[in-house]
Amino acid sequence: MTAVAPAQAARPNGWYGMLMLIASEATIFGALIATYAYLRFNTVAWPPRGVATPSATAPVILALVLLLTAAPVFLAVRAAAAGRRGSAIGLLAGAFVVQAVYLAIQAHLYADQLSTLHADASAYASIYYTLLAVHHAHVGVGLLLELWIMGRLATGWTPYRRTALSAIALYWYFVAVAGLAVTATTLYPAW
Amino acid sequence: MAIIEGADARGVERVERLDRIWRERPGLTGWLTTTDHKRIGLMYLVTSLLFFAAGGVEALIMRTQLATAGERVVGPERYDQLMTMHGVTMIFFFVIPLSTGAFGNYLIPLMIGARDMAFPRLNALSFWLFLGSGILFYTGLAIGQAPDAGWFNYVPLASRQYSPGLGIDFYALGLILNGASSTVAAANFLVTIAKLRAPGMSLNRMPLFCYANLAASFSLLFALPVLTVDLMFLELSRKFGLHFFDPGRGGQPLLWQDLFWFFGHPEVYIIVLPAFGIATSIIPTFTRRRMAAFPLVALAELLVAFIGFGVWVHHMFTTGLPTIALVFFAAASLIIVIPSGIQIYAWCMTMVTGSPEFRTPLLFIVGFILFFVFGGLSGITLAAVPFDQQVTDTYYVVAHFHYVIWGAAVFPLLGGLYYWFPKVTGRMYHERMGQISFWLVFAGTNVTFFPMHISGLLGMPRRVFTYPGNLGWGPENFVSTLGAFLLTGGLVLIAVNLVYSRLRGEPAGPNPFGAPTLEWTTTSPPPPYNFAVIPEVTSPYPGWDDPTREADTRRLERGELVLEHGHETPATTPVDGRLDEIVSMPSDSPWPITLAAVTTIGFAMVLSNHLIGAAIMAALAAAALCAWHAHEPEAG
């Protein structure tokens, strides 16, 4: 009676749980982006006079790089399904390095911009920095999750860890797509 | 219990094995580390009722202050604090935790034939976070820095410039924490309802109570993050001087209201949907008839949650928005009457075509329907923009939303307390005392809140701490205050009844009302594993299809879905409810309470500007999460 059914028709509960978390996190991003539009269309000068239009090159490249890191994460899930623990860890480690470099560059850009435009200068600056900070925080949490699952996988396989990996992968797909939306929004003046 | 008593030696042996596997730690440690949805539900119940008492005392002080003109029971500052604490307490610390946390937690797994929630440890976390947020929020009152800008907390009043103390910070941080608790609870309910229904419970066989909880959880999941963002903007403005609401720097004060009510109106349905669910449980039992128009009621419950996201601007008809926006939202506010109307007709038709027996729980539901219709009618008047612009910020609005939130949302909760009392305690409540308590509460509600319509139409504004004697508002206010004490008397009688019955009530047996849903097929109170055998589901009313549960007894003897080898429950496919896998459930864990404690302390440190301490708490929270997941439920 305790045997696990061989082929499951539905995803595991943990995957559904992550889907719920993503639904609420996506709502947070939605509210932030809606606020950006709300503030923008209730004012004349956007960005305010004297504030430079954000440069598009670096953020666009970075957003695309983050999107590409979804590929090794996806392959790690596939490797896990095939029981190849070593390659799953290797793929995750590869993704982790690129994502960590991404976050470091973003943090550097963020600090750089803060030195010329303070977050408390205007509503524009406030929503700009808040939106970016929330996105970066999500990348940071994703990195911690990856670190944790790599550590767990290093000691062996369990169904619990397999579910956790699929949930963490789902989280990363979401963060990568949210990154596109955040980049598109914050670069709005440069369109 | 019939199922076990009728079973042969093999069945009894299986039950004994289940008893051993599911036994929890004894004493206080057991409660602090429990992951049993029933114990968590009971902790929610007790905690939310304590907050209810606090919110009630706040209301009584306000009513005493307003009893006659020019009273000086409390001053204006204290009155503003009481008003704010009352609103926030009743909504965030009483109704939602009671309806979803207590009723939902205790009943949903029982109603769908599961052994626990989908994420038992997350369930414990949501309770402890709720408790932490309540303690944090009330700390403000204890140190004399309670929030005082109303439960809607409008800027610029709530900005640092006009509210320099810590009161608003207690509000904002307390509610972010409370929102986190409700969000994880909602996610847990959604997955539980989607995945843990007993094999055979396809969506069309799911009890309407679960549909209502599903709709409320859906609303919570999408509405609360918007409040969280709004509160985050407020705190960033107050603590770091950012500008979201300040028109001098390109901000918009109305942004607060838009985001707040985008959450705030779905919130009304979050409050009232579980009440619908309770009504659809109690009515069939006491009318001996299945709910009329079952699929329509299920759809209406979901539709209410959905349309609820499109009506928020009707809280803002006087903020100078363009006419086109007002017309759109007035229309949406009228459309939502349709799914509400469907349900009212279905409840009434079920009673008219059944053979109703007016015992205490059903009386509360009848009261609920009357209040819901009445509050709905005054709601229609408020959806009309010109009338709303006349009565905004008067007691007419206070009267309306108390009829809806108190009369319509809380009455079923009170009825539900009586209805499931025998299941939870194994003892019957006192019927006659119960009926008297209903009439006291029913009369008290009308005497308290009906006169407010009149004082509002006479022009009495909301939120004033007193009024001069020559305006003619005296009689209405005096009657309201008398009503408030009458109402309190009725509530005290309910408490007396339940406490007395807990100690001295007649033994109830598994199903004293002959009710049809699965929670009544197990013992009262249910064992930690809920069901000796995962029950067979043949319709939304399985208890009436097979009152003796003969089939379940035979299945127990055969060992079919008894799962007596581990902490397990079956998972099924989300739509058809076909058996998919057997999942291992985690047992008791010290980490949810630890994580909640660390998080709450971290929030308190942000509040008191100890940001380094808060960062340390965040690191500890991450460590607690690692420890949490170090213990994995073992597969079969």
* Spatial distance between the Cα atoms of B272 and B277, rounded to a whole number of angstroms: 9
According to the model, what pLDDT value does residue B598 have?
98
Per cent of chain B over pLDDT 70 is: 99
Strands B568-572 and B579-584: antiparallel
Chain B residues close to A25, C-beta within 8 Å:
225
User: Does B259 sit within 8 Å of A9, measured CB to CB?
Assistant: no
Which of B182, B188, B581, B587 to probe by mutation at the A interface, max A CB count within 10 Å?
Answer: B581
Residue A5 has pLDDT above 50, yes or no: no
- Cβ count within 10 A of residue B149: 21
* Spatial distance between the Cα atoms of B410 and B574, rounded to a whole number of angstroms: 31
pLDDT in tens, B88-145: 999 999 999 999 999 999 999 999 999 999 999 999 999 999 999 999 999 999 999 9
Query: By the 8 A CB rule, do B30 and B587 touch?
Result: no
For residue B525, whether the previous peptide bond is cis, meaning omega lies within 30 degrees of 0, is yes
According to the model, what pLDDT value does residue B1 have?
46
User: Does B190 sit within 8 Å of A3, measured CB to CB?
Assistant: no
Band of residue A169 on the pLDDT scale cut at 50, 70, 90: very high
Band of residue B636 on the pLDDT scale cut at 50, 70, 90: very low
Residue B539 has pLDDT above 90, yes or no: yes
**CB of A71 less than 8 A from some CB of B:** no
User: Does B578 sit within 8 Å of A9, measured CB to CB?
Assistant: yes
What length is written for chain B?
A: 636
According to the model, what pLDDT value does residue B635 have?
52
Residues 6+ apart with CB under 8 A from A64: none
Closest alpha carbon to B180 in B130, B222, B215, B251? B130
Residue type, B90: M
pLDDT in tens, B341-354: 999 999 999 999 99
**CB of A24 less than 8 A from some CB of B:** yes
Q: Which residue of A has its CA nearest to B583?
A: A4
User: Does B580 sit within 8 Å of A8, measured CB to CB?
Assistant: yes
Over range B401-410, report the average pLDDT.
94
Residue A109 has pLDDT above 70, yes or no: yes
* Spatial distance between the Cα atoms of A168 and A164, rounded to a whole number of angstroms: 6
**CB of B248 less than 8 A from some CB of A:** no
pLDDT in tens, A122-157: 999 999 999 999 999 999 999 999 999 999 999 998
Chain A residues close to B568, C-beta within 8 Å:
2
**CB of A32 less than 8 A from some CB of B:** yes
Sign of CA dihedral A15, A21, A27, A30: negative
3-state SS, residue B583: strand
Which of A1, A144, A149, A157 to probe by mutation at the B interface, max B CB count within 10 Å?
Answer: A1
Residue A4 has pLDDT above 90, yes or no: no
**CB of A163 less than 8 A from some CB of B:** no
Q: Residue B427 — φ and ψ, nearest 5°?
A: -130, 155
pLDDT in tens, B366-376: 999 999 999 99
User: Does B574 sit within 8 Å of A10, measured CB to CB?
Assistant: yes
pLDDT in tens, B2-20: 677 778 888 899 999 999 9
Q: A2 to chain B, minimum CA–CA distance in Å?
A: 5
pLDDT in tens, B296-319: 999 999 999 999 998 888 888 888
Query: By the 8 A CB rule, do A183 and A59 touch?
Result: yes
Q: A104 to chain B, minimum CA–CA distance in Å?
A: 19
User: Does A31 sit within 8 Å of B221, measured CB to CB?
Assistant: no
pLDDT in tens, B456-504: 999 999 999 999 999 999 999 999 999 999 999 999 999 999 999 999 9
Residue A3 has pLDDT above 60, yes or no: no
